[in-house]
Structures are given as C-alpha cells and as structure tokens.
C-alpha cells in the first residue's frame, strides 16, 4: 500500500478546523446586553442587582485593569428551537485560549444565584437540553478585567491596581443564544481522541494504521456541507475502532479532576476568592451531568472564602462531598511554600487544614497535596505521619533543570527516619486535558514499569480556568479502555494511593532527605520584606502563645485569646502560599503583604503585652521566649534570664564583671570580650575574628565582605538565580566611613558606611559583654536593578558538608560539586542558622530574616577553608518591576566555636529578642533537663479545655532522654498527635530519637 498518511492526516485536520468545529453550534442569536461598571473594588451580587444598567453593544471596549463590570444578558429562546440543546455562549473578549490569566466571569440567574464560571475553554451555560420555545433568558455576568501580566518576563506596571492605568483592556466579543448539536460535538471528541492516540503510536504498529483508515472512512461518510445531517453516520464509522479494549498490560491511570488555583500570584488575594467561586461553581454544575466526576480540591482557605462569600456554592460543595463527586485533599490551610515556613508554622498548616476538612465535611484527609511548591523540606514525612497523613503528592520536581528524579512512586524518608508513601505523577502536569500526548508521556515516562502499573493524572484547567470540562469527561469515557492507550479510570486520589501502596509498597525504593527543586532557587531571597514579615510574625506568635498560656494558667481571671490567635495564625499561614512567601507574585500582592504583616505584628504585640500585664506589675523585668537561658545586655545592664521565664533587671550594670573593650589605631579597630577578639580594618572589613577560648583564628580571608553580582536569569525573573551569576562579581571594599560609635563597657559598636551604585548601606558591627557571637546590624537603602547582594564569610574550617537549620532539625549538604546533584545545589535554604565544621570545631552564621545561602570550598595558602555567604537582596523586574527597592533592616551574626546546640540556642536568641516589661520575675511554665531537646511551642489546647500543649523536638541529631517539669500542678500528661488528639498517657521521662517531634498535653490539676 502506498504511504499516504500525511495526506489523510492533513485532510482530517482541515475538516476539523474548517467544517466540524464550527458546525458544533448550528444556530446563533445575539442576546441583548446592558452594563454596570463597578466604580471600585468588587461588590456582592445583591448590590449588583440593585444597580443602574446602561445599554451595551458587542464590539465595545470595557474594563480598566483589575476592574469589574456586571453585564445583564437577556433574550428569549425561539419557538423553533424547542426540544433542542440551547446554550448561552459568552465571550467577553478572551485573548487566546489560555485560561486563568485574563478576563474571567461568573454567571448568575436573575435572582442572584451563582450558576457557573465563564473562561476561554468553558464559555457556555446550558439553558435547556431540551429547551422550551419562548422561554425567557435572563442572566447576570460578573466580569473581571484581570490583565495578563507575564509577557516574556518583561517589566510591567499592570501588576498593581495603583499603577496599572485606566485604559480598557478588553473588547466584548459576543453574548449569544446558540444551539449545540450533540452529534457533531461528540463526533469532534471521537476524532480528537483517536487522532491524538494515533499520533502517539509508532508507525510500525498496526493499530496506528487501523485508526488512520477508520478516520479516512469516517471522512468519506461525512458530508462537509451537511455536517449535522451526516454526523451520526460518521460516528458510526468510528464505532468499531473506538470499541477495541486496552491491552491487559496497559498502564493504569487514576484520573482525578483538579483545578490548581494559586491563592495569589499574577492577581491579588481578593481575586482568588472569585477564581475559587467560579471554578467551584463549574465543578458542582458539571457533576450533575457527569456523575462519575471526582474533583480533588485542596487549600482549606479557599473553601473558607467560598463559604463566606458564596453560600449557594458552598451548599453545592457540601452536597458534592456527600455524593462522592468532590474529594477534599491536601490536609493544609494553603498549598504553602515548603522550604521557608518555620516548624510550628508548617505544623499549623496541617493542623488548621485537617481540622477544617474534618469539622466542615467530616472528612479525615490522608494526603499532603503540593503539586506546585518549589522543593520540599525533609521535615515533611514526620509532620505528615504525626497528623495521620499516609501519602504525599507533588509534581514540581519534573521541572528540575539538571537531574531527573529516578522514581515516580517511592517512600520518602525524613530526617528522623519517618517514611511517607509518595507519588510524583509521570504525566508531568497537574492540568491535564486527557490529550493523547499527555497519556502516552505518562506511560513512557513512568519509572516504575515492571514493578508497578499505575499512576495519577490530575485533569482540569487551573488558576481560575474553571477546572474539568465536559470535553475532558467525554474523553475520559472514551479512554476508559481503548486499545493503544493507557486505561483511564476516574477515581479519588485515596483510591489511587491505596491501590498503588498495596501493589508496590513493599518493593518501592526510598528517597532520603529533602526533595530539592533544581530551579526557582531565588525564591529563598526575592521580596525580602515579605520573608521578614513571615519570620517575625512566626516568632511573635510563638512568644504571644507562651505568655498568654502563662497568664491563663497562673491568673484565673485572664481570658486566653483563642479567636484572635486562630485568626492571626491563619493570616500568616495564608501568606506562606507558594507564590507569596517565595516572592513570585505581582507588586499588589507584596504591597498588601507588607501592610498585613505590620497589622499582624502590632496586634500580636498587644496580645503579648496584655498577657504580661495580667501576670502582675512590678519593677522592670526581662522576659525570654526562647527555651534556653540567656545572658545578654539589656539597656545598660547584663541580665541572665531563664528559658521561657523572666528575671528582674539587676541594680548593678555589670554583676558578673563582664566587659567588652574597644581600641582604635590609625588603620584598625579591635573589639574584644572574654570570648572573641575582632579586628576591623580601615575598609570596615573583618580581617580577624579570633576565638579566644579555643585559641584559633576563624577567618581565612576578609569577613563580612559584601559582594554584588549581576543577576539575569534565563527566565522566571523573581524565581530564578542561575549559576552564571557567579562569573562576574564586584567586591564592595571601599567604605565611606568606619567609626567606633560605642566603646563599652557592655557594648562596642563599629559603624561602617558604604555607597555603591545608587544604593547605600550602613552596618553596625556589634560585640557585647559575655556574647559569643558577633552581630552585623544592617540597614540598606537598596536601589539596584537586576543585581544580587551577598555577604561572604571565608572561614578557616575544612568542612565536607554544611548543616542548615530546617523545620524541627537540620540537613547536611556537601560543600563540593562532585556530582550533578551536588552542583545543582548552588543556592540553598537555611532557617535561623547554617553551620560548617571540621572534626572538633565549627562556626555558625546566624540570621534574623534571611533564607538564601551558598557554601563553597575555598583553598588558601594554609589549607582548605569554607566560604559561607548569605544572599541578602535581589532586584528582579518581573512580575514586580520594583522588587525590593527601598530601605531594609536586618541582622546576621557570626558564631565561632559553635556546636549544633549553640547554633540552635543563639539562632533562637537572635530571632526572639528579650522583652522588657513591668512584670514580676517568673519561673518557666515548663522546663526540660536536656538542652538537646528544644521547646517549639507552648499554648492552650485548641479544644478550649484549658489543657496546656507543649511541642518539643530533639534538635541536635542524636538520641536524647529528658524530663519535663511543669511550673504548675499537673493532673495528667498525654502524648498526642499533631492535632492534639491523645495517643497515650505518660509520666515521663522521654527518650527521643534524632529529630523526633513530641507533642504533650498537660491537664492542670
């Protein structure tokens, strides 16, 4: 036979494009339009129903960026359309087919009940199937003029309503009443499924040619000038080829509806409220036509928004959950970043998420669902298991630049040894359309072939695109068992996970440690004020809960602020979403985040102050929210304060006789206390930091060396820092001034001022009496463009690896680049500290709001050292053209001679400043007898029983035995899960394995 495949395929493509797809709607009738342009922010439908509308015609421009217009759409079904499938079809001016990143709308009926969303791939509302002739059509469209922001990562001011301008961005294209021909519509879907499958089959397989000839026969039957009349016969020509079942060995795909909706990204938070409403309306409407639909939906916050703003949709969701069409998943308040949230915050993400789903739906979610976050902390497996979570899902690792993950289904092992069954869908998307190319890729790509047979495919349009469509459900029906294709079964994620674990769990490989994303590494740094707001809010809430709990236990008249703390925590958790905390959202999002964090911190501070006042008045006392005893300079006194307690400010300035000395010569300033001797040269650089107690030099080059690099990633401006940035560097060695501004006896400060580019930086290098660390208090007026600022400490430590604090512990990473996996970690995340060590000696670098770091080996004349650098600031232009411009204040510190325990304690001290208040000296509410065990949080139980909940963990990476002592009578102590549900009663002491988290519930006697 002659090979005429390309001719037949071209014939088919033209028939689809020119004749079949246009013939899906056989008749159209324009509907009458009128409009009300909302003068400000979006309004509820009740207000829109009362507004005054003006006549409007199609083809008219509308919608300044971020505005809302309400359109009344009115007409009547012609009598001759009775009995046919009639729809309202709306196009408010879609620009291409990309859903979620342009105009969107929600249709309501005449009384204000929401019906379904309108998106580029989902433009219809069924009026009748069959329709009644003469029936009036009256719907209301809430149309959002959301501008498209990303255009090749070019700078744009469209990302903030304050700068986006007033010009209209859309031209209303159409609002029609139309007749859908079901036979033509289904014929198009038959052809798409077969054609897509055909193109994925090898030319040597007979099945490919059988499909081609069946499609050719179908075209022979079809009259392109009478598509509706001949569509049934054309479908008949495809019946046999569509009915052939899949092979017994075909890959099994568990498909679940999905609509990944970023809680903020290229739109503000308030728009996500509406995106969720539009999509959830679509899904609940679709379930009525396709009872097999299962829609997996995460992010309790989005449910809470819909419950508050769209009660009709909320009731439909509850019904869908009861009937099995809707599967709450994810177990978290939002799909948060999974690197930077603190330990307690990540625990609260799970606690608040699982509690919401249990209380609202009676559903105990069993999975962490994070398809799009930018890497995953090795603390997750233990947190998941402690919350009753069995499974973990992600997709993002398919974006790795350098190395392909070797597994798709595996056991993920955390730092404490806990394992969680994990799946990474080989389809490599969480917005599948059931295109033949996607399904074939899933089968070919699946790494576990030969041992496992199934994978998960989330399908649907995300980010406000409306989720699953009827076309996707129709394709799934055809693909349930089709020769040449994987088998497709729509089912709940839990059904997939249970079957996959039963089939493969005993043989599945183990991946140990973090799931590092080899991309988007700049998200540890971009939008520094957002990150600082998060860090400070987390620690402020930790402190507030401690003192509020102390007051509640010791002062019966004090009312613990359950509701306020719940609300404030949820606000912080929301802003940990994986495009807010990482800094990858538009300017509007980060402007509002800065304002929100300021309000949160002010309110949390007032809660703390109120609790401290309730504990009683007295002479000034110093309160310590860290679990470790501290000796620090406070005002003009040296104070020792117990962990989680307080102490009176001493009458004498220097009860211990501790001193700090400062000397200045022409070229050098020397600061010295009992622990450190620090030398600063005329350029303000650290030329020597000597550990007095150990008698060794810490530095092998100039310390606190600020370095400026050009920062031009190949793509993803706010997200990426590409390795080539290191090829060019400017060392900021010239100082405008180096001044000794304070010289003791309790504090010595050298102020260094530098100017570079359009920016200016002032750093106070500060050493205090009795301190083992050297602080660098920094203020930067940052005015650079596409630059990255680093602070370098070349340390005379021969370190094979670094240790970086993560949630509830730390991880080790090589300092070399022997393998591609090692080389890919050229930028890493650390929380409050990063430590490098050789046998017997270590040095830590601490910070109060910085997450990005890099660690490299540096040869010098006396051996091999290790350079630790903090990544302080960036200045990308997209999606926020003025990212990080302005004044920043932060502190980092050098801690010589640091063991892991020292880094833990000093990192907490730097992030939890001592508080001075008029209060009595307080013994700690709880205390531990082993410093290797760290108290993470002290709070009252969420069930408002008055029980005290203490979360603690082993923080050094070894076994630890400890006893907890309560500063109040305790009737019973229970070990609980993460959600404070009792597991068993205990009397202590406790033995913890490395990095084990333990939650205790103490009932006051």
Exposed / middle / buried, residue 789 (Cβ in 10 Å: 0-12, 13-18, 19+): buried
- Per the structure block, which two tokens stand in for 660? 């700090």
Cis (ω within 30 of 0) for the bond into 360? no
Question: Does residue 822 come out as left (phi exceeding 0), alpha (psi in the -120 to 50 range) or beta?
Answer: alpha
How far apart, in whole angstroms, are the C-alpha atoms of residue 321 and residue 315? Answer: 10
Q: What is the DSSP string of 151-218?
A: STT---STTSTTTS-SS--EE--EEEEEEE-HHHHHHHHHHHHHHHHHHHS-TTSHHHHHHHHHHHHH
The structure tokens 């159409």 sit at: 174
Buried b (16+ CB within 10 A) or exposed e, 642-681: bbbbbbebeeeebeeebbbebeeeeeebbbbbebbbbbbb
Structural element, H or E, at residue 364 = none
Assess contact for 671 and 678: CB atoms under 8 A: yes
Q: Of 634, 629, 632, 655, which Cα lies nearest the Cα of 644? A: 629
Q: How far is CA 614 from the centre of its chain?
A: 38
343-361 vs 562-574: helix axis angle to the nearest 10?
110
Using DSSP bridges, classify how beta strands 419-423 and 391-393 pair: parallel, antiparallel or unpaired.
Answer: parallel
DSSP code of 895? E
Residue-by-residue DSSP string for 796-862: S---SEEEEEETTEEEEEESS--SHHHHH-SSEE-SSEEEEEETTEEEEEEESS--EEEEEEEEETT
Strand partners, 449: 452
CA angle 963, 966, 971 (to 5 degrees): 100
Give the CB-side neighbour count of residue 899, counting CA atoms within 13 A. 7
Residues forming a β-bridge with 740: 750
Instruction: Determine the Cα–Cα distance for residues 169 and 193; give it in Å rounded to an integer.
Output: 36
Distances (CA, A) of 301 to 34, 63, 431, 537, 941: 34, 28, 21, 19, 22
What is the separation of C-alpha 990 from the centre of its chain, rounded to a whole number of angstroms? 34
Q: Which two tokens stand for residue 740?
A: 């000794």
Residue 611, classed as helix, strand or coil, is helix
CB atoms within 10 A of CB 14: 12
* Residue 19 per-residue DSSP state: I
The sheet carrying 646-648 orders its strands as: 646-648, 620-623, 915-918
Tracing tokens 């070229």 back to the chain, one arrives at 667
Which is the catalytic residue, given 27, 217, 372, 683? 372
DSSP 550: H
- Can 372 be counted among the known catalytic residues? yes
Integer Cα distance of 922 and 646 in angstroms:
5
Cα Rg for the chain, rounded, in angstroms?
Answer: 31
Burial profile 445-458: b = 16 or more Cβ within 10 angstroms, e = fewer: bbbbeeebbbbbbb
Strands (E) located in 211-302: 252-257, 295-297
Q: Cα separations (Å) of 869 from 283, 446, 775, 820?
A: 48, 39, 15, 21
Catalytically active residues, by annotation: 372
């Amino acid at each position: 036979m002659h090979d005429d495949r390309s001719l037949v395929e071209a014939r088919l493509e033209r028939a689809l494009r020119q004749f079949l797809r246009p013939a899906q709607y056989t008749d159209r009738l324009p509907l009458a339009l009128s409009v009300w342009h909302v003068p400000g922010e979006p309004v509820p439908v009740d207000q829109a129903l009362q507004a005054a509308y003006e006549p409007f015609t199609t083809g008219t421009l509308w919608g300044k960026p971020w505005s809302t217009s309400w359109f009344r759409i009115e007409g009547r079904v012609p009598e001759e359309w009775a009995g046919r499938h009639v729809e309202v079809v709306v196009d408010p001016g879609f620009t291409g087919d990309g859903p979620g990143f342009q105009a969107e709308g929600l249709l309501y009926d005449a009384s204000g009940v929401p019906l379904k969303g309108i998106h580029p791939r989902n433009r219809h509302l069924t009026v009748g199937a069959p329709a009644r002739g003469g029936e009036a059509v009256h719907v209301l469209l809430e149309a959002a003029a959301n501008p498209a922001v990303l255009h090749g990562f070019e700078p744009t001011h469209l990302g903030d309503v304050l700068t986006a301008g007033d010009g209209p961005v859309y031209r209303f294209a159409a609002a029609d009443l139309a007749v859908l021909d079901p036979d033509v519509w289904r014929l198009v879907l038959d052809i798409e499924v077969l054609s897509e499958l055909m193109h994925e089959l090898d030319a040597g397989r007979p099945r490919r040619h059988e499909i081609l000839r069946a499609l050719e026969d179908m075209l022979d039957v079809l009259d392109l000038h009478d598509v509706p009349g001949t569509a049934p016969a054309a479908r008949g020509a495809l019946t046999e080829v569509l009915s052939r079942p899949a092979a017994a060995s075909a890959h099994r795909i568990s498909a679940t509806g999905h609509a990944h909706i970023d809680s903020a990204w290229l739109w503000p938070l308030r728009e996500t409220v509406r995106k969720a409403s539009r999509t959830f309306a679509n899904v609940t409407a679709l379930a009525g036509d396709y009872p097999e639909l299962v829609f997996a939906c995460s992010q309790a916050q989005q449910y809470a928004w819909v419950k508050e703003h769209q009660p009709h949709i909320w009731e439909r969701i509850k019904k869908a959950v009861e009937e099995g069409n809707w599967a709450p998943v994810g177990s978290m308040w939002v799909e948060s970043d999974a690197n930077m949230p603190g330990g307690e915050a990540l625990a609260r993400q799970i606690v608040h998420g699982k509690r919401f789903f249990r209380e609202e739906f009676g559903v105990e979610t069993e999975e962490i669902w994070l398809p799009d976050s930018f890497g995953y902390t090795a603390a997750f497996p233990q947190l998941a298991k402690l919350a009753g979570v069995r499974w973990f899902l992600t997709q993002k690792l398919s974006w790795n630049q350098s190395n392909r993950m070797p597994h798709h289904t595996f056991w993920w092992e955390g730092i404490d040894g806990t394992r969680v069954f994990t799946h990474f869908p080989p389809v490599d998307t969480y917005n599948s359309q059931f295109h033949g190319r996607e399904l074939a890729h899933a089968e070919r790509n699946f790494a576990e072939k030969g041992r496992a047979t199934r994978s998960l495919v989330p399908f649907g349009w995300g980010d406000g695109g409306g989720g699953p469509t009827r076309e996707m459900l129709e394709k799934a029906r055809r693909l349930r068992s089709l020769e040449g294709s994987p088998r497709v079964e729509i089912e709940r994620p839990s059904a997939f996970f249970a079957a996959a674990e039963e089939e493969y769990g005993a043989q599945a490989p183990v991946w140990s440690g973090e799931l590092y994303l080899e991309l988007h590494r700049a998200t540890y740094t971009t939008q520094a004020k957002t990150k600082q707001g998060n860090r400070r809010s987390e620690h402020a809430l930790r402190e507030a809960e401690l003192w509020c709990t102390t007051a509640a236990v010791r002062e019966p008249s004090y009312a613990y602020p359950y509701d306020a703390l719940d609300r404030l925590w949820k606000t912080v958790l929301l802003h940990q979403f994986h495009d807010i905390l990482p800094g990858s959202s538009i300017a509007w999002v980060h402007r509002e985040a800065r304002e929100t964090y300021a309000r949160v911190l002010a309110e949390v501070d007032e809660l703390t102050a109120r609790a401290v006042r309730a504990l009683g008045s007295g002479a000034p006392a110093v309160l310590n929210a860290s679990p470790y005893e501290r000796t620090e300079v406070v005002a003009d006194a040296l104070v020792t304060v117990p962990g989680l307690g307080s102490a009176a400010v001493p009458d004498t300035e220097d009860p211990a006789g501790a001193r700090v000395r400062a000397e200045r010569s022409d070229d050098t300033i020397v600061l010295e206390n009992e622990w450190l001797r620090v030398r600063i040269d005329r350029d303000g650089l650290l030329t020597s930091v000597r550990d007095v107690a150990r008698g060794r030099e810490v530095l092998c080059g100039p310390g606190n060396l600020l370095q400026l690099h050009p920062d031009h990633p190949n793509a993803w401006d706010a997200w990426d820092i590409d390795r080539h940035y290191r090829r060019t560097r400017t060392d900021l060695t010239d100082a405008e001034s180096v001044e000794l501004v304070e010289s003791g006896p309790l504090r010595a400060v050298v102020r260094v001022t530098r100017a570079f580019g359009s920016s200016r930086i002032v750093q106070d290098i500060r050493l205090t009496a009795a301190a083992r660390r050297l602080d660098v208090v920094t203020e930067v007026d940052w005015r650079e463009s596409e630059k990255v600022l680093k602070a370098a400490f070349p340390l005379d430590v021969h370190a094979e690896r670094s240790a970086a604090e993560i949630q509830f512990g730390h991880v080790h990473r090589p300092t070399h680049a022997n393998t591609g996996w090692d080389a890919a970690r050229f930028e890493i995340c650390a929380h409050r500290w990063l430590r490098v060590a050789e046998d017997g000696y270590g040095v830590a670098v601490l910070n109060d709001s910085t997450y990005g770091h890099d660690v490299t080996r540096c040869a010098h004349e006396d051996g091999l050292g290790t350079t630790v650098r903090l990544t302080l600031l960036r200045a990308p232009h997209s999606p926020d053209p003025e990212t990080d411009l302005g004044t920043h204040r932060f502190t980092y510190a050098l801690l010589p001679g640091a063991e892991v325990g020292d880094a833990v304690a000093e990192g907490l001290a730097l992030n939890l400043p001592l508080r001075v208040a008029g209060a009595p000296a307080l013994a700690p509410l709880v205390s531990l007898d082993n410093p290797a065990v760290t108290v993470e949080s002290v709070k009252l139980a969420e069930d408002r029983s008055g029980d005290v909940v203490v979360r603690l963990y082993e923080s050094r990476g070894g076994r630890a035995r400890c006893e907890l002592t309560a500063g109040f009578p305790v009737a019973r102590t229970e070990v609980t899960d993460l959600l404070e549900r009792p597991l068993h009663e205990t009397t202590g002491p406790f033995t913890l394995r490395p990095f084990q988290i333990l939650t205790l519930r103490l009932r006051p006697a």
